[in-house]
Amino acid sequence: MRLIYAEKLKAALKNFVYLTEVSQHSDLVEGENIAFKKAIELLDNAPTVEAEPIRYGRWKIIDQDVMGRKTLMCSCCTSVTKGFTFPNYCFNCGAKMDEVTEK
């Protein structure tokens, strides 16, 4: 998914339509201008998403067993997971993990 700034895109489309309508040397035919106007209408009616900022955290090693499996705690939500590797994201809160700290 790619989030866009819809209002700026809509303004650019409207400006393009305006310039082609007032230009005497426009290469666009009326049908193409109608298509651009329809694109603006579709933008107005497009569904929106509730985007959340990315949360960043780090794994804190709170224990390690004799086999080398570590118990890790998320610095954002304090949930605990065990494993031999460090996941890139917290399974509980979704925080992106950038580093690991020792006990």
Is pLDDT at 29 greater than 70 in this prediction? no
Q: Which has more confidence, 93 or 19? A: 93
Q: Rounding to the nearest 10 degrees, give the CA dihedral for residues 30, 13, 17, 26.
A: -80
pTM listed for this prediction = 0.51
Measured distance CA(78)–CA(60) in Å, rounded: 9
Give the β-pairing of 96-101 and 80-83: unpaired
The larger pLDDT score, comparing residue 23 to residue 39, is at 39
Tens of pLDDT, residue by residue over 43-79, are: 888 887 777 788 999 999 999 999 989 999 999 999 9
Percent of the chain clearing pLDDT 70 (strictly above): 85
pLDDT bracket for residue 28 (50, 70, 90):
low
21-25, 37-41, 98-102 — most confident range? 37-41
